[in-house]
């Protein structure tokens, strides 16, 4: 009786132990998932702030260049008046050179301003997407935070149910196998159990002896000759036996 029930029992126990591990992992992951969503929101805000700083810097540079142009233009006017009043040829030519230099500087500044305006346009064009990313990240983080409490409760409830179920199943382990079972699962958790895949242990792939595979098919207690896993018959193979 004990031998017959063992094989089926271990399939159920394996399922419960895997579920317990998954639920525990999902519970642990919740705060990390929230932190990750909140970090994304912070990164989106930072990107928007950096973009605003960049645009501001470009605008300040633009204004500085406009002011420089005004100053050079005033200079050109002043030098032109001096040149028109110059009587000596040397003075006239020196002033002509100074005027040409100032005009060249104005032209350079004007070219630089065109590039700057282009950069400002490009940066401004990216603002709506940056704003949208902030809203998106905030919405996701807030929704997750709101749902997390319930999700946590649900997971904790499922985990409690699974652990209660598992405790009941553990009590059904035949007395003569309890110590081996307890030792293996204590060290390996859900990985302590594996279905037989054909004639092989599905955990390590080792082919089992005919008598051992036969025992698994009779739902007896068998451990893998190689890795020591408790072997059980898969649901599919059990159906094929019927």
Which residue from 227, 234, 237, 238 is in contact with Zn ion, where contact means CB under 5 A? 227
Q: Is 30 in the site for Zn ion (CB under 5 A)?
A: no
Residue 222, phi then psi, degrees to nearest 5? -135, 140
Candidates 58-66, 99-107, 161-169, 223-231: pick the segment binding Zn ion (CB under 5 A): 223-231
Q: Which of 207, 152, 177 is nearest to 32 (CA)?
A: 152
Structure token digits, residue 178: 């309890």
| Minimum separation from the CB atom of position 22 to Zn ion (A) | 22
Q: For 232, what's the count of Cα atoms within 13 Å in the CB-facing half-sphere? A: 22
Span interacting with Zn ion, options 63-71, 123-131, 208-216, 227-235, rule CB under 5 A: 227-235
Among 204, 209, 214, 235, binds Zn ion (CB under 5 A): 204
Calpha distance 194→203 (Å, rounded): 6
CA dihedral 84, 89, 94, 96 (to 10 degrees): 40
Which SS3 state, helix, strand or coil, does residue 221 take? coil
Nearest to Zn ion of 60, 204 (CB atom): 204
- Judged by beta carbon, residue 219 or residue 223, the one nearer Zn ion is 223
Give the three-state DSSP class for 208: coil
Q: Which is nearer to Zn ion, 58 or 229 (CB)?
A: 229
Minimum CB distance to Zn ion, residue 20 (Å): 22
Contact positions vs Zn ion (CB under 5 A)? 201, 203-204, 206, 224, 226-227, 229
């Amino acid at each position: 009786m004990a031998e017959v029930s063992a094989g089926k029992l271990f399939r159920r126990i394996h399922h419960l132990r895997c579920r317990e591990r998954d639920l525990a992992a999902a519970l642990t992951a919740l705060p990390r998932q929230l932190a990750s969503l909140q970090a994304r929101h912070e990164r989106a805000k930072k990107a928007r702030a950096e973009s605003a700083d960049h645009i501001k810097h470009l605008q300040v540079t633009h204004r500085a260049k406009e002011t420089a142009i005004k100053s050079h233009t005033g200079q050109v006017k002043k030098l032109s008046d001096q040149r028109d009043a110059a009587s000596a040829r040397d003075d006239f030519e020196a002033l002509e050179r100074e005027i040409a230099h100032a005009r060249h500087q104005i032209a350079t500044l004007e070219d630089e301003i065109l590039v700057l305006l282009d950069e400002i346009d490009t940066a401004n064009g990216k603002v709506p997407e940056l704003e949208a990313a902030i809203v998106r990240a905030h919405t996701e983080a807030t929704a997750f935070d709101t749902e997390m409490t319930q999700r946590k409760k649900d997971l904790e409830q499922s985990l409690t149910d699974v652990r209660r179920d598992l405790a009941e199943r553990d009590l059904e382990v035949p007395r003569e196998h309890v110590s081996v079972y307890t030792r293996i699962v204590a060290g390996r958790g859900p990985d302590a159990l594996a279905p037989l895949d054909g004639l092989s242990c599905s955990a390590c792939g080792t082919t089992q002896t005919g008598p051992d595979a036969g025992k698994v098919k009779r739902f007896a207690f068998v451990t893998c000759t190689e890795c020591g896993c408790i072997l059980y018959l898969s649901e599919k193979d059990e159906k094929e036996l019927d």
